[in-house]
């Protein structure tokens, strides 16, 4: 074959997998620009939704994170005695708080603030350097100093309104007044019972605060609702008489080594309580009945303190012979006996399988009903009660106010524990008339005797006699309820018989020179808690009475729980009555009878009233 040298060469296209492809940079750039525009449009749309469409919603959420409605406590109202003397009062103060995260120079601010907040520079510098966001610098700063501090506008420092509760008379009447906690809420006594009255109505202040609760810099506060001050209490209490009652009672508790002691004095006509003492001896072991909580402050006699619970209203006990007023008032009212009725009295008697006896052994004796009461004969009282019968006896217990709440409403008040027809045992006919079986608080015993002093008309006890408005106006409390328990004639007879208890009976230590006194003693065994037996060697001593007996004005009860040096109502409790009542009669300028009063011949032994 012949090859043509002048023919063009054949071209061959090379194919290789590793050869680079042609790129298009303009297309990718345009795609990126489109995506950016879409993102920007989406972002703008979202911003429009947030800033325009949903603005109000998100603005509210934003503000809610720092805006707080702060409750502002109203100024707690005061408590006053019957003459307007202050017993409890709240003093307005300034509360100084610090958000130490906002404080850049603690040492500088400490030096500047120290003279105003009354805190040393060293302590203040330490407080402002804690870095916990909420520090109480001073919670009792005066209002003037608080206003001066607020005007200085320290960063991170907030001044708020506060108050401190003061009791100007120290521990006087603390068991009745009670107290408040750190939040300003009543926890005991009248402070607790009348919390809603004294505290007033809280207000609301709107403020902008940090997460730690401190106002934000340059923010302002607005009052949404003003706080309404509380309403004060005007008590029937007489501070001077209260002090004397507590001091005399305290000395007697210490002298007899009693566990507790109570003393209450009442205005016969109105039922208003003039003095209410409730004390505990912290040096005497409480024994199986358990300790009595106290406030921890002496009343002026070593070891004697105010009780937290007001024992005249909260402590039920078997009253013993003072309860015999139930039997005698009912028997006289129904004509069962007269003061001169003669009864034949053995030393003891079996009733329902139980043996009852007089405190002192004796043979067969003959006493008039007056002598039975004056000498406090248990068996003589049983003889009268047996003639009266169960139903009339129980009815008189109710009429005299036993087993019923007083209406004073002190915390922990007890109505007592009483037997009734449904749980009556045959032996109760011997026990109830002499003050066993039924357990009652001392105030109910006083109420019963006050009814006898008041001409036979029962009047409910009262401690709050008025309400003091913030403007100073006093609104009287409603008058105490009243009802008749015995006729006026029978009452006069019983008063005469109760005078004999003091003149020649077991109550001679209650005699007050120049005045006639009527009353009754009681010395009662103490039941062992949770067991059907008595606490060995333990007795409660009581005296209750009124004066002047010819025209009664004041009534009073004194009860000492488990005294040791002398156990009898006539020797442990009656002397307290004598001293305090003597002071009160002169304190209120009550005219004396002018008679020379002294024990009559043939007086009984002090210990014959033991039940």
Contact 381, 327 (CB under 8 A): yes
CATH architecture of the region 239-609: 3-Layer(aba) Sandwich (3.40)
Q: Does the structure show a pLDDT above 50 at 12?
A: no
- 115 vs 457, which has greater pLDDT? 457
* pLDDT at residue 185, rounded to an integer: 93
Pairing of strands 203-208, 222-225: antiparallel
Q: Does the structure show a pLDDT above 50 at 506?
A: yes
The structure tokens 């509210």 sit at: 60
The structure tokens 């006539």 sit at: 570
Residue 132 has which token pair? 């916990």
List the one residue out of 316, 298, 306 whose CA is nearest residue 189: 306
* pLDDT at residue 324, rounded to an integer: 98
Phi/psi at 296 (nearest 5 deg)? 85, 20
The structure tokens 């006069």 sit at: 492
Of all residues in the chain, what percent carry a pLDDT higher than 70? Answer: 88
Residue 447 burial (10 A CB sphere; 0-12, 13-18, 19+)? buried
* pLDDT at residue 3, rounded to an integer: 47
DSSP 8-class letter at 201 = B
The structure tokens 């008189």 sit at: 396
Reduce the DSSP state of residue 473 to 3 states and report it: coil
Phi/psi at 60 (nearest 5 deg)? -65, -40
Q: Does the structure show a pLDDT above 90 at 461?
A: yes
Query: 70-84, 220-234, 492-506 — which one is most confidently predicted on average?
Result: 492-506
Write the pLDDT tens digit of every residue in 276-313: 999 999 999 888 888 999 999 999 999 999 999 999 99
Q: Does the structure show a pLDDT above 70 at 60?
A: no
List the one residue out of 584, 442, 601, 449 whose CA is nearest residue 512: 584
Residue 408 has which token pair? 């004073």
**What CA–CA distance (Å, rounded) separates 77 from 470?**
8
* pLDDT at residue 5, rounded to an integer: 45
- 59 vs 88, which has greater pLDDT? 88
Cis ω for the linkage preceding 433 (within 30 of 0): no
Write the pLDDT tens digit of every residue in 167-183: 999 999 999 999 999 88
* pLDDT at residue 221, rounded to an integer: 60
Pairing of strands 273-281, 482-484: unpaired
* pLDDT at residue 94, rounded to an integer: 81
**Rounded mean pLDDT, 546-573:** 97
Query: Cα(first)–Cα(last) distance of the chain, in Å?
Result: 163
Q: Residue 178: left (phi > 0), alpha (psi -120 to 50), or beta?
A: left
Q: Does the structure show a pLDDT above 50 at 408?
A: yes
Write the pLDDT tens digit of every residue in 390-400: 999 999 999 99
- The arrangement of strands across the sheet holding 203-208 comes to 67-72, 203-208, 222-225
Contact 178, 188 (CB under 8 A): yes
**Rounded mean pLDDT, 403-432:** 96
Pairing of strands 79-80, 232-235: parallel
Give the lowest-confidence range in 102-106, 412-416, 506-510.
102-106
The structure tokens 């730690």 sit at: 212
* pLDDT at residue 226, rounded to an integer: 82
Confidence of residue 517 (pLDDT cuts 50, 70, 90): very high
* pLDDT at residue 1, rounded to an integer: 45
* pLDDT at residue 69, rounded to an integer: 65
Cis ω for the linkage preceding 548 (within 30 of 0): yes
Q: Give Cβ neighbours of residue 251 (< 8 Å, ≥ 6 apart).
A: 301
List the one residue out of 522, 534, 531 whose CA is nearest residue 570: 522
Q: Does the structure show a pLDDT above 60 at 66?
A: no
* pLDDT at residue 24, rounded to an integer: 61
* Mean pLDDT of all residues belonging to the chain: 88
* pLDDT at residue 63, rounded to an integer: 52
Write the pLDDT tens digit of every residue in 115-170: 888 889 888 888 888 877 778 888 888 888 888 888 887 888 888 777 889 999 99
Domain positions in the chain are 239-609
DSSP 8-class letter at 309 = S
* pLDDT at residue 328, rounded to an integer: 98
Distances (CA, A) of 30 to 21, 23, 37, 41, 253: 20, 14, 11, 16, 104
Counted residue by residue, the chain has a size of: 611
Question: H or E element: which one contains 523?
Answer: strand 518-527
Contact 512, 499 (CB under 8 A): no
* pLDDT at residue 390, rounded to an integer: 97
List the one residue out of 77, 98, 186 whose CA is nearest residue 468: 77
* pLDDT at residue 215, rounded to an integer: 54
* pLDDT at residue 404, rounded to an integer: 96
Confidence of residue 583 (pLDDT cuts 50, 70, 90): very high
* pLDDT at residue 32, rounded to an integer: 80
List the one residue out of 478, 543, 480 whose CA is nearest residue 508: 543
Give the lowest-confidence range in 12-26, 240-254, 527-541.
12-26
297-303-306 Cα angle (round to 5): 45
* pLDDT at residue 105, rounded to an integer: 83
**Rounded mean pLDDT, 353-357:** 95
**What CA–CA distance (Å, rounded) separates 610 from 368?**
20
List the one residue out of 405, 469, 343, 362 whose CA is nearest residue 193: 405
* pLDDT at residue 362, rounded to an integer: 92
Phi/psi at 81 (nearest 5 deg)? -85, -175
Question: H or E element: which one contains 89?
Answer: strand 86-98
Write the pLDDT tens digit of every residue in 444-454: 999 999 999 99
**Rounded mean pLDDT, 504-512:** 94
Contact 160, 95 (CB under 8 A): yes
Sign of CA dihedral 506, 451, 276, 267: negative
Q: b/e per residue, 226-242, with b = 16+ CB within 10 A?
A: ebebbbbbbbbbbbebb
Q: Does the structure show a pLDDT above 80 at 229?
A: yes
List the one residue out of 102, 233, 99, 107 whose CA is nearest residue 173: 233
Confidence of residue 53 (pLDDT cuts 50, 70, 90): low
Confidence of residue 42 (pLDDT cuts 50, 70, 90): confident
Confidence of residue 14 (pLDDT cuts 50, 70, 90): very low
Q: Does the structure show a pLDDT above 60 at 8?
A: no
**Rounded mean pLDDT, 515-529:** 94
What is the 3-state composition of the chain as percent helix, strand, coil, each rounded to the nearest 5?
A: 35, 25, 40
User: How many Cα neighbours within 13 Å face the side chain of 544?
Assistant: 29
Give the lowest-confidence range in 92-96, 351-355, 538-542.
92-96
Distances (CA, A) of 28 to 25, 32, 39, 191, 298: 6, 6, 17, 83, 94
Residue 95 has which token pair? 């509360």
List the one residue out of 164, 27, 153, 143 whose CA is nearest residue 88: 164
């Amino acid at each position: 074959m012949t090859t043509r040298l002048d023919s063009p060469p054949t071209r061959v296209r090379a194919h290789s997998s590793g050869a680079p492809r042609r790129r298009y940079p303009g297309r990718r750039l345009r795609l990126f620009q489109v995506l950016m525009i879409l993102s920007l449009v989406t972002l703008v749309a979202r911003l429009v939704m947030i800033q325009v469409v949903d603005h109000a919603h998100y603005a509210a959420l934003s503000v809610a994170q720092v805006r707080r409605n702060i409750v502002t406590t109203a100024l707690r109202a005061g408590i006053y005695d019957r003459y307007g003397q202050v017993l409890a009062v709240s003093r307005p103060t300034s509360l100084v708080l610090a958000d130490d995260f906002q404080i850049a120079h603690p040492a500088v601010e400490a030096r500047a603030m120290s003279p105003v907040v009354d805190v040393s520079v060293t302590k203040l510098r330490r407080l402002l350097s804690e870095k916990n966001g909420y520090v109480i610098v001073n919670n009792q700063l005066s209002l003037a100093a608080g206003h001066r501090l607020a005007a200085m506008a320290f960063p991170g420092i907030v001044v708020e309104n506060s108050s401190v509760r003061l009791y100007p008379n120290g521990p006087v009447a603390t068991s009745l007044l009670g107290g408040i906690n750190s939040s300003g809420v009543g926890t005991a006594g009248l402070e607790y019972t009348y919390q809603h009255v004294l505290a007033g109505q809280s207000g609301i202040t709107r403020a902008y605060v940090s997460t730690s609760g401190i106002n934000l810099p340059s923010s302002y506060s607005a009052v949404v609702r003003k706080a309404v001050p509380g309403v004060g209490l005007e008590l029937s209490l007489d501070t001077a008489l209260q002090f004397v009652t507590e001091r005399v009672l305290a000395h007697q508790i210490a002298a007899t080594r009693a566990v507790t002691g109570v003393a209450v004095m009442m205005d016969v006509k109105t039922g208003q309580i003039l003095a209410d003492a409730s004390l505990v001896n912290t040096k005497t072991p409480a024994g199986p009945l358990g300790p009595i909580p106290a406030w921890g402050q002496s009343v002026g006699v070593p070891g004697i303190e105010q009780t937290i619970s007001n024992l005249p209203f909260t402590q039920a006990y078997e009253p013993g012979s003072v309860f015999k007023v139930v039997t005698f008032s009912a028997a006289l009212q129904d004509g069962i006996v007269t003061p001169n009725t003669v009864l034949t009295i053995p030393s003891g008697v079996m009733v329902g399988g139980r043996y009852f006896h007089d405190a002192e052994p004796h043979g067969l004796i003959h006493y008039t009903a007056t002598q039975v009461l004056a000498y406090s004969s248990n068996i003589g009282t049983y003889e009268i009660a047996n003639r009266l019968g169960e139903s009339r006896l129980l009815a008189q217990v109710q009429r005299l106010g036993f087993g019923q709440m007083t209406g004073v409403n002190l915390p922990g008040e007890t109505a007592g524990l009483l037997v009734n027809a449904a749980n009556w045992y045959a032996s109760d006919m011997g026990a109830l008339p002499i003050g066993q079986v039924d357990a009652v608080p001392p105030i109910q015993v006083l109420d019963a005797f006050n009814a006898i002093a008041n001409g036979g008309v029962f009047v409910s006890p009262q401690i709050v006699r008025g309400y003091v408005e913030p403007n100073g106006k006093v609104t009287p409390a409603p008058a105490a309820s009243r009802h008749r328990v015995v006729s006026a004639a029978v009452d006069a007879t019983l008063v005469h018989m109760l005078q004999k208890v003091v003149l020649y009976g077991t109550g001679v230590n209650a005699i007050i020179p120049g005045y006639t006194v009527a009353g009754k003693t009681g010395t009662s065994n103490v039941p062992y808690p949770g067991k059907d037996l008595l606490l060995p060697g333990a007795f409660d001593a009581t005296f209750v009475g009124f004066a002047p007996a010819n025209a009664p004005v004041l009534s009073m009860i004194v009860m000492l729980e488990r005294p040791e040096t002398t156990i009898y109502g006539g020797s442990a409790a009656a002397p307290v009555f004598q001293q305090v009542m003597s002071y009160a009669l002169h304190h209120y300028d009550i005219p004396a009878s002018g008679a020379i009063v002294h024990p009559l011949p043939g007086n009984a032994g002090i210990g014959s009233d033991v039940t």
